[in-house]
Amino acid sequence: MKNEKYLKRKIQYIILVPIILAIIITCITIYMNGLESRVGTISLALLVVYLIFTIIVYLRMLPSIDSVVMDYSLEQGKIQKELLSDLEIPYAIMDTNGHIMWANRLFRETIGVHNDARIKRTIDLYFPELVPDIIDTEDEVNLTLNYEDRIYRASIKRIDLSTVFDEREEEYNEDDIVLAIYLFDETEKKKLEKLTQDQRLYAGVLYLDNYDEVMDNLEDVKHSILTALVERKINMYLSNIDAIVKHIENDKYFFVFKQQYMQTLRDDKFSILDDVKNINVGNEIAMTLSIGIGSDSDQDGNGYINAYDNARNAIGLAMGRGGDQAAVKLGDQVTYYGGRSAGTEKTTRVKARVKAQAFEELLQTKGKVLIMAHKRPDADALGSSIGIYRLVTAMGKEAHIVINEITEAIRPLMNTFMMGNAYDGVFISSNEAVSSVDQDTVVVVCDVNRPSMTECEELLSLVPTVVVFDHHRQSNEPIQNATLSYIEPFASSACEMIAEMYQYMSKTPKLKSQEADAMYSGILIDTDNFLTKTGVRTFEAASYLRKSGADVVRVRKMFRSSMDELKERAQGINNAEVFMEHFALSYIEPDGKTNEAPTVAVAKVANELLNVENINASFVVTKSNDLLYVSARSIGDINVQIVMERFGGGGHSNVAGAQLDMSKDEFFEQLKPVIKEMYESGEL
């Protein structure tokens, strides 16, 4: 209606403008010639005749103008309605409550309502995603809808009718708001997009973890049989995902496959890991393998190279976590599958020799070394730090150990270093370390490979050279850009790794008795008196330390329990609860008289609960300084590390832990369903 009035006024202006111009011209002529002149008289007469004629014509045409405008308006409205009705896009108008007021033919066909029928149901009954809270929040909303077997992109626009109708009209209503909805069918587009995505290639790398160890312990005549069976299993498994496989070395395979099969592997949980492990042709050690899969994270770059690089990074993470698992790296996201076994100890020391020589060469070009372990250090953290300190000083380099807190776990050892002046200035705080760094400084990280858990994370970004020695499985938070990284999940402790490296240095460092005691203590505590995660190399390292001056009796005396600790352990055992017949859950309430967290007692209780019949894993917690400390232990095939990873922690398959910002009740409420889910699905 507003448009019709506007058009009528335009026509009136076209008629009235010549009349006004004629009057102006006549007035100018009379002014210039005077009314008494002949020209003025003629001009006035002509003006009067012209005005009379124009007014008569205008009055006779006025009804016709109204008629023409009305016909035009009706015709235009009819055309617009027909166009909207036959619009090739589903279109409808509804109120803010979702009631459909009008819909075109295609919209009715989409929702299955006849053209003559009234649409009684609200829009959310057809499209559940279109709830009032969504459609009545913004002036324009775009979202994807699924209806039956079609996919639509819905565009919803708010229309305020008060801006359409003139305020003087009766139909004006300031609250009169409607919603216009357009449905764009994108089914074929989405299918093509999915087809394009499915055709993208994923790169994969497969390593046999313990190929040399298995072959060394197997009769020569059976080597070819085992190799053939393993290769057949691998080829058959990968043929199910239409993969191209290339055997590049005795223990290495490379393969590529389409993205559409990635979900098949996830659903299958990489059963090839168990299939190969179950092959037995007389081999005493089960063959295990690791898989790394990567995709292109940068579609604008070289996709195949990026995918291969991600696959290599993924296999590195899988091997760094002990092998016998698959790691899938899609961009920055890494997902792990398998990893239930504790892995097989490597009998070869080639890696230890290579890392020792590389570390020695690196130190020759540097002047100062800062050594740090994890926060709240334990015996292994201090022992390995002392081992690196002695190794560095034997080369004539300056070295310091960064320790901010002397915990109950290391106080007996620290007391031996505090006697006398031999170690004055060796132990420094984080602030002292930060103020002393320069470009000629090396930072060595022991017994941890997560930057957030180190004594001073800031140090890692202040120096160009970082070295990592650790025996824990790698997580998704590794120390980036380490110049040298020696991570051996099969080792019992970091002290074992450092003791092995001693034997391959060009100049073997000579340990002092308290230093040998510290390193021996690290092995002793981490293996629970040589009961868990102990291999041939563990005893060889302990033997080397014993020869270097470690005193077994002296170490045992240092780590005898106090009466308070015995009471704490008794409390932990008394609070124990058995869950699902095979899991022990317990807690220790900290003593309010001291700020020291009973973390040592917690770890010992977790170990002691494994001596209970039918208990395969234990989880013991304590609270200190608003943090919940969790110690997880297991015996047999239960992998507590992957459980702790669910809570942001980590460790080994049999020894793991976490530090959480929650109460013990909240932790156990979350832990129980996680254990149940993983145990029933076979992940544990």
- pLDDT tens digit sequence for 126-175: 887 776 666 555 677 788 888 888 888 888 888 776 655 454 444 444 45
- With bands split at pLDDT 50, 70 and 90, how would you rate the model's confidence at 216? confident
CA angle 402, 504, 313 (to 5 degrees): 70
- Asked if 366 and 440 touch (Cβ cutoff 8 Å), the reply is yes
Summarised one tens digit per residue, pLDDT across range 24-55 is 777 776 666 665 667 667 767 777 777 777 77
**Position with higher pLDDT, 50 vs 302:** 50
What pLDDT is attached to residue 80?
Answer: 58
**245 band by pLDDT with thresholds 50, 70 and 90:** very high
Mean pLDDT of 72-76: 54
593 and 602 Cβ atoms separated by less than 8 Å: no
Q: Helices 494-502 and 350-363, interaxial angle, to 10°?
A: 80
Query: Closest by alpha carbon to 518, among 394, 328, 646, 384?
Result: 384
**pLDDT for position 596:** 66
Residue pair 160/140 in contact (Cβ under 8 Å)? The answer is no
Q: Which two structure tokens, joined as six digits, stand for 498?
A: 């450092």
For residue 554, which of 590, 516, 588 has the smallest C-alpha distance?
Answer: 516
The answer, yes or no, to whether residue 250 has pLDDT greater than 50, is yes
Torsion over CA: 407, 411, 413, 419 (sign): positive
How does pLDDT run across 483-525, given as a tens digit for each residue? 898 888 888 899 999 999 998 888 778 899 999 999 999 999 8
What string of DSSP letters covers 297-333? S-TTS-HHHHHHHHHHHHHHHHHHTTSSEEEEEETTE
Q: How many CA atoms lie within 13 A of 377 on its CB side?
A: 33
11 confidence band (pLDDT: 50, 70, 90): low
Alpha-carbon distances of 9 from 3, 61, 76, 169, 570, rounded to whole Å: 10, 14, 18, 17, 98
pLDDT at 610: 92
Instruction: Write out pLDDT tens, residues 355-400.
Output: 888 898 898 888 899 999 998 898 999 999 999 999 999 988 999 9
When mean pLDDT is compared over 109-113, 389-393, 481-485, 587-591, the highest value belongs to 389-393
Question: Percent of the chain, pLDDT > 70?
Answer: 84
The mean per-residue pLDDT over the stretch 1-28 comes to 66
> Which structure tokens are listed for 113?
């309502």
pLDDT in tens, 417-441: 988 888 888 999 999 999 988 889 9
Rounded distance between C-alpha atoms, residue 397 and residue 182, angstroms:
74
Q: Which two tokens stand for residue 147?
A: 């209806």
Listing DSSP states for 164-226 in one string gives TS-TTSTT--TT-EEEEEEEEE-HHHHHHHHHHHHTSEEEEEEEETTHHHHHHTS-GGGHHHH
Q: Do residues 657 and 647 lie in contact, with contact meaning Cβ atoms separated by under 8 Å?
A: no
Which residue has better confidence, 326 or 624? Answer: 326
Question: What is the predicted pLDDT for the residue at 575?
Answer: 93
User: Predicted confidence band at 214 (pLDDT cuts at 50, 70, 90)?
Assistant: confident
Which residues lie below 8 Å from residue 225, measured CB to CB, with a gap of 6+?
Answer: 281
Residue 170: what pLDDT?
A: 46
| pLDDT reported for residue 169 | 47
Q: Work out the average pLDDT over 294-309.
A: 73
Instruction: Quote the Cα angle for 632-638-640, to 5°.
Output: 30
**Lowest mean per-residue pLDDT among 187-191, 534-538, 548-552:** 187-191
Q: Which helix (H) or strand (E) holds 431?
A: helix 430-436
Average pLDDT over residues 250-274: 90
| Predicted pLDDT at 5 | 59
Give me the pLDDT at residue 7, please: 56
Average pLDDT of the chain, as a whole number: 82
Which tokens in the block code for residue 389?
A: 């300190």
Tell whether the model's pLDDT for residue 619 goes beyond 90: yes
pLDDT reported for residue 52: 77
Q: Give residue 181's pLDDT.
A: 83
- The mean pLDDT of 192-200, rounded to a whole number, is 78
SS3 410: coil
For residue 650, give every residue at least 6 positions away whose Cβ sits within 8 Å of its Cβ, in sequence order, or none.
Answer: 450, 472, 473, 475, 641, 644, 656, 657, 658
Does pLDDT of 66 surpass 70?
no
Q: Residue 450 region, left (φ>0) first, then alpha (ψ -120 to 50), else beta?
A: beta
Q: Cα separation of 377 and 494, whole Å?
A: 13
Tell me how far CA of residue 315 lies from CA of 320, 380, 467, in angstroms. Answer: 8, 28, 21
- 68 versus 292: which is more confidently predicted? 292
Quick one: tokens of 300?
């604008």
In SS3 terms, 538-560 reads as HHHHHHHHHHCCCCHHHHHHHCC
297 has a pLDDT exceeding 70: no
Higher pLDDT among residues 229 and 42, named by residue: 229
Which one, of 345, 463, 347, 361, lies nearest residue 402 by Cα?
Answer: 463
Q: What is the pLDDT of residue 177?
A: 76
Instruction: Tell me the pLDDT tens digit for each residue of 634-657.
Output: 987 788 888 988 888 887 778 888
Q: In the chain, pLDDT over 90 holds for what percent of residues?
A: 27
pLDDT (average), residues 313-341: 82
Lowest mean pLDDT, pick from 48-62, 368-382, 527-541, 542-556: 48-62
Q: How confident is the model at residue 536 (pLDDT cuts 50, 70, 90)?
A: confident
Question: H/E element holding 415?
Answer: helix 411-418
pTM of the model: 0.61
Residue 443 CA neighbour count, 13 Å, CB half: 29
68/14 Cα distance (integer angstroms)? 15
Residue 74 has pLDDT above 60, yes or no: no
Instruction: For residue 426, give the 3-state DSSP assignment.
Output: coil
